[in-house]
Every structure is written in C-alpha cells, then in structure tokens.
Structure 1
Amino acid sequence: MTGGFLARRLLGTLIVLGLLSIGVFGLLYLAPGSVEQTLQGNRPASPETLAALRARYHLDDPVVVQYLRWLGGVLQGDFGTSIRTGVPVTEAIGSRLPLTLGLILYGTLLATLIGLPLGVIGAFRRGRAADRAAVVTSVAGMSAPPFAVGLVLLMAFAVYLQWFPVYGQGEGLADRLRHLTLPAAALAVGSAGLLVRFTRAALIRELDQDYLVFARARGLPTRLIVGYALRNSLIPILTALGLILTSTLAGTVLVEVTFALPGLGTLLVDSVTFKDMPVVQALALLLTLLISAVNLLVDVGYALADPRIRFGVSR
C-alpha cells in the first residue's frame, strides 16, 4: 500500500530530475554567444584558448554524447572546475552549503513557531479581534518581499538598536545563531503569513465537522479539541510547510546578498555575474534536487499523518 505509493513517488522524482538535468545542461547552449565563450566566462579568450576549451570539453562530439559525459561526471560528484576561482565546483559548493541549509532550517523553524500558533488562534477566535489581527498579520507578511523585510530589520535591529551584527556568519554555534537571526526572520515573515492562512482555513473547516461540534457540546477540554483538529488538518498544513521550504530556498538568494552571508545564494549571484557556467549548472541542479526532496518528504508526511489514506489500493 504505502510502500508502493512511495516507490512510485521516488520513481517519478527520479524521472523529473532526469528531465531537469537536460535543461540544466542546456544552459550552455541557451546562454548568449558560443559554448566556448560561455565556458570562458568574462576572461579574454584567444583562438588557441577557445580551441583548447573545445578539446577539453569534447565540444566536437554530438550533443547527446556531451550530455551523457556530463551526466556521468555529475553522478560521480564531478561538476567540473569553477571558471572564476579555479577550484572544483563541489569544493566551492560544499564550503557554503552548511550555512545556507542552516539559514533555511532556522527560517522555517521561526515561521512554524510564529505561523502555526497564530493560525490556531485565528481559527478558534474566528471573527474576533485576535482573528482579524492574525489575518492582517498574515496578509502583511505575505505581501512583503524577504529582501525588503531584511533591509528593514537590518536598519532597525542592527544599525539603530545594534542588537544584532550587520553582516557576516559568525564563529561558533552561539555566534552563528546570532548572526543568522535577522536573515532567518526576514525569510520567516512571508512564510509565517502563508502558514497562518493555511492553518486557519484548515482548522475552520475541521471545527465545523460534526464530531468536533459534539466534542465542544460535551465540554471536552480545549487542548483535546485543538489536538483532534490539528491531527485531521495535517494534510494542508504539511502542504504549507512544503511550500514554505521551497519558497525559502528561493528567498535565500537575495537575503544572503542583503546580509553579506557567504552562502549558496551569494555564490549563485557571483557566478551569474562572472558567467561561471559550471557553478551555475551545479547550483541549479542542487536546487532542483532539494526541491524534489522536499516534495517527496511532504508525500511521505501525507502517508504518515492520515491513516485514512490508502495508497495503491482500489476500492
């Protein structure tokens, strides 16, 4: 049942990754200019250098052969060498990946701690002042771009109040958390607003069900009613968490630039500016892999959260 569903989902994820890898490889040919000029980046190139690039990357082979050779290297963890720095791409990404993942997890945690309680309060206080405040807060959060929120937080809490550092990643766990608090908060504002809307809507729909109306009529404690309602509202809440993780992945690019954090977002901006195509390809494929993994985890969460779902069984 559930095992067959997960196997199909995993197979579908692998197929999607395979198709998207073709698009990532095609960035070489979609970029303006010739492939040799793209691989050369912004550095001046002589005819001898371009000829050497053609020989090194086997550009005289058919495109299918080039793609299969590139894919074989990717499966072995070889994305080539950075044009800008001359270091292996995997090394350049590996040194920055922990910071970006930490920022994403920190921002998602803050969004969950803010958005989930506000959504619950809005649902149980529907039509009251607390509900209206939660709705207004969610709309304001969803309307504000993360980089704009980051600039406001930077000016307020780092420049004027000087509670947090202006830039940098810090040293050690405590100092790292202090440096990442404002960037994570900038990512969490919009995500928390999205989670408030999903949680509130799911709980309001669930609270109108007969079993919860009967539970309230019997005088069951509020904590039990909240637990029942949340358990049966996990599907839309998990969907919202999946959307939050994927949107946070995209939002880290501008937030890292705003706070001068040496993560994958800053690396991507620098690589695009310098036309460092091997790094751009690797980052695009990595983001694709992370988003596909998040979607797969959400599907697994569906199977674990709702026992009424029977995957792969026809009635």
Structure 2
Amino acid sequence: MTATEQVQAANTPGAPSHKRDKRRAIRPAVYIVKKLLALVLTLFVASVAVFFSRFLVPGDPARFLLRGRSPKPEALEEITRQFGLDKPAWEQYLNWLGGILHGDWGRSLTYRQDVSDVLLGRLPTTLQLVALAAVFITVLGLFAGIVASLNKGFSDRFILITLTAAGAVPPFVAAIALVALFSVGLGWFPSFGSGDGGWDRIWHLTLPALALGITYIAMVARVTRSSMNEQLLREHVEVATSRGLTRGSVVARHVLRNALGPILTVSGVLVAGLLVSSAIIERTFGLSGIGQLLVQSIDRLDFGVVQAIVMVVVAAFVLVNTVVDLVQPLIDPRIAAGTESR
C-alpha cells in the first residue's frame, strides 16, 4: 500500500470509529490503574503521617520506652542505639517501612513479643465483629430503604421517624439498651465474651454487631430511600412500567440497579469506618479485639502497637473504598467511561 493509499484509508469513516472503540476498550483498564495508584499513594502518605506523628510527642523517645524510669546514661544510650533512635528520622522511617513490608512490625514493650503476634491474636475477633455488623448494615439498611421508598404514606413516615431516632443513638447507648433488653430482660443473647467459634461466636457477636451498626443502618436506609425515589421518577422506569412489566421486575432491573451507585459508596465508607468505632463496643462487651488493644496501647505509650493498629485501620479503610470504586463500573460502566473522559 502506497503512502497515498494509507492516508486515504486513515480518512475513511471507519478509522475514527475504530479508534473510538479502542479507547473505549482500554478505559476500564485505565480506571483500574488509576484507582490502584491512588491506593498505593494513600497508603504511603498514611505511613509517613503515622510514623512521624510520634515525633510530635514532647520529650526523649528513649525515655518513653522506659515508661518513666530513670536509667543510667549508659543504659539510656544503649536503648537509643538498640531501637535506632540515634539515626536520622528519614532513616528510621525507611527501616520501619522496610520492616512492615517484610512482616516485621517491631516488638511490643507492653507484651514483650512481636507486634505482629499481638495483632494476630486480636484481629480475628474484630474482623468477625465488623463483618457481622457489615451484614446487618447492608441487609437491614437496604431492606428498610426499599420498603420506605415503595410504600408511601404511613409506612414511609414510620420508617423515616424510626431511622432518624436510631441514627441519633450513640453506639455505647445502643449497647446498654440491647444488653438490658435481649440479654438481661429476655435472656436471648449473652452479654459478655466472644464465644468459642462457629455459631457460638455469631451468637455472642450478634448484640455487639447490632450496637456497632445501628447508626449506620439508618444512614444506609436513608440513602437507599433517597436514591430509589430519584430513580422511580426517571423516564425509563415509566417506559418499563407501561410495557406491562411486573413491579418486582421494574424495581430489580430498572430502579435498584441504577440506585446502587450511591448506596455502595456510602456503605463502603461506613463499613470501612467500623474498625474505628469498634473500640467502644469491644470494651462494653468484653471482646478482645484490636479496638480495645488500641486504647490500652495508647494508655501505656506502646508506640509500636499503636502505629501498627492505625496502619491496619487505614489500610482496611482505603482497601474497602477502593474495592467499592472498582465494583461500581461493573454495575454502571458509564462510571469508568466518565472518569476517563474527564
């Protein structure tokens, strides 16, 4: 093919269409790469903030490690050298970050063992609590929001009032009320401990999970109701209804699916934030999780454990929200296309 023929082929109507198809095909990949790069950058910035925050505490870090004792100068110098406190701050950070990437979080001064071992002993309880609370938040929040949206009048107003009241209840107040009613009053659920595993673990964690998620259930329900109401007024829903489709089919295929974007976003943020809120619930119900461990470590100035827990919480928060961002284009492909076009 001559150069003239190549130019003519490039100017044919099919060429721009082919280029548009190619750009459209790579948009999802570009969207995913952007989100993953944002994830890595966020975790890096968080690690810098978490590590250097300890330098904001006034005083000699070595003396904090000794927890108020007055050692001899040579002993203090030995501790400073042992923990690398005599090195520049940036070198300390790189050593700390390198250790984390290799699974070495340092040693706990309180428990006299590796920080990773301390966390692994507490993390399963917190993850199970958060997972059960997330199920309650998603299922009950979606159900209440859908029912309120599809049943105008008394049902809608009753659910709204109930959700508003529930959303104003602090977790520790909800915990006390749930224990008084379902544990002390009715005797249906235990009020202390995390059980022995399996269904016994779920049974013990039911009240803590409800107390942890009750405020968030109300938030998800309100967002679901608002998003559903917005979609019910769209033209395509009216067209689907006029074609004789059943109400359930219209709601499932044309209303709920298009309403899931904001619901997923809010649910992801709320579920990721459960780790932060778990400390109060764990203390109330006597659960040995990382929330209670964080409070104890701050009180005892165990910086290694505090830094590790904060990084775990931040990583979980960012990961959950990244997963939500990556799932949304599967529901609505226009999200990835819109991101690429901006």
- For this structure pair, what is the TM-score category when the shorter chain's length is used for normalisation? over 0.9
Question: After superposition, what is the alpha-carbon deviation per residue over 1:93-139, rounded to whole angstroms, capped at 9, x for unaligned?
Answer: 0111111111111001011221101101111123x111112211221
**Pairwise mapping of residues 183-198 of structure 1 onto structure 2 (< 5 A)?**
183-198=208-223
**Pairwise mapping of residues 114-263 of structure 1 onto structure 2 (< 5 A)?**
114-126=140-152, 128-227=153-252, 228-263=254-289
Amino acid in structure 2 at the alignment position of 1:267: L
Q: What TM-score, normalized by structure 1, do the two folds share?
A: 0.95
Amino acid in structure 2 at the alignment position of 1:90: S
Question: After superposition, what is the alpha-carbon deviation per residue over 1:195-242, rounded to whole angstroms, capped at 9, x for unaligned?
Answer: 111100101000000111233344421111210201111110111211
Distance 1:83 1:45 in 2: 17
Amino acid in structure 1 at the alignment position of 2:136: L
Distance 1:32 1:260, change over 3 A: farther
- Report the equivalent of 1:12: 38
Amino acid in structure 1 at the alignment position of 2:114: P
Distance 1:37 1:160, change over 3 A: farther
| Runs (5+) with no aligned partner, structure 1 | none
Distance 1:45 1:6 in 2: 54
Q: Is the 8 A contact 1:134 1:196 kept in 2?
A: no
**Pairwise mapping of residues 13-28 of structure 1 onto structure 2 (< 5 A)?**
13-28=39-54
Which structure has the larger Rg? 2
Question: After superposition, what is the alpha-carbon deviation per residue over 1:271-295, rounded to whole angstroms, capped at 9, x for unaligned?
Answer: 1111111000000111110011011
Distance 1:45 1:181, change over 3 A: farther
Query: How many residue pairs were aligned?
Result: 313
> Aligned-pair RMSD on alpha carbons?
1.6
Q: Is the 8 A contact 1:38 1:277 kept in 2?
A: no
Question: After superposition, what is the alpha-carbon deviation per residue over 1:32-69, rounded to whole angstroms, capped at 9, x for unaligned?
Answer: 422112333x3524134422220112212111111111
Distance 2:199 2:92 in 1: 47
| Runs (5+) with no aligned partner, structure 2 | 1-26
Distance 1:156 1:52, change over 3 A: farther
Distance 1:84 1:129 in 2: 56
Q: Is the 8 A contact 1:31 1:38 kept in 2?
A: no
- Report the equivalent of 2:135: 109
Distance 2:158 2:82 in 1: 61
Give the secondary structure class of the aligned counterpart of 1:212.
helix
**Pairwise mapping of residues 262-273 of structure 1 onto structure 2 (< 5 A)?**
262-273=288-299
**Pairwise mapping of residues 287-302 of structure 1 onto structure 2 (< 5 A)?**
287-302=313-328
Give the secondary structure class of the aligned counterpart of 1:233.
helix
Question: After superposition, what is the alpha-carbon deviation per residue over 1:156-188, rounded to whole angstroms, capped at 9, x for unaligned?
Answer: 222232221121111120111111000001112
Higher relative contact order (CA 8 A, sep 6+): 1
Distance 2:169 2:58 in 1: 34
Distance 1:83 1:313 in 2: 49
Match of 2:60 among 16, 27, 34: 34
Amino acid in structure 1 at the alignment position of 2:162: T
- Range 139-148 or range 13-22, more displaced: 139-148
Q: Is the 8 A contact 1:139 1:193 kept in 2?
A: yes
Distance 1:182 1:94 in 2: 24
Q: Is the 8 A contact 2:108 2:304 kept in 1?
A: yes
- Range 259-268 or range 31-40, more displaced: 31-40
Q: What TM-score, normalized by structure 2, do the two folds share?
A: 0.88
> Are 1:82 and 2:83 counterparts?
no
- Report the equivalent of 2:341: 314
Amino acid in structure 2 at the alignment position of 1:27: S
- C-alpha displacement of 1:7: 0.8
- Range 208-217 or range 286-295, more displaced: 208-217
Q: Is the 8 A contact 1:150 1:182 kept in 2?
A: yes
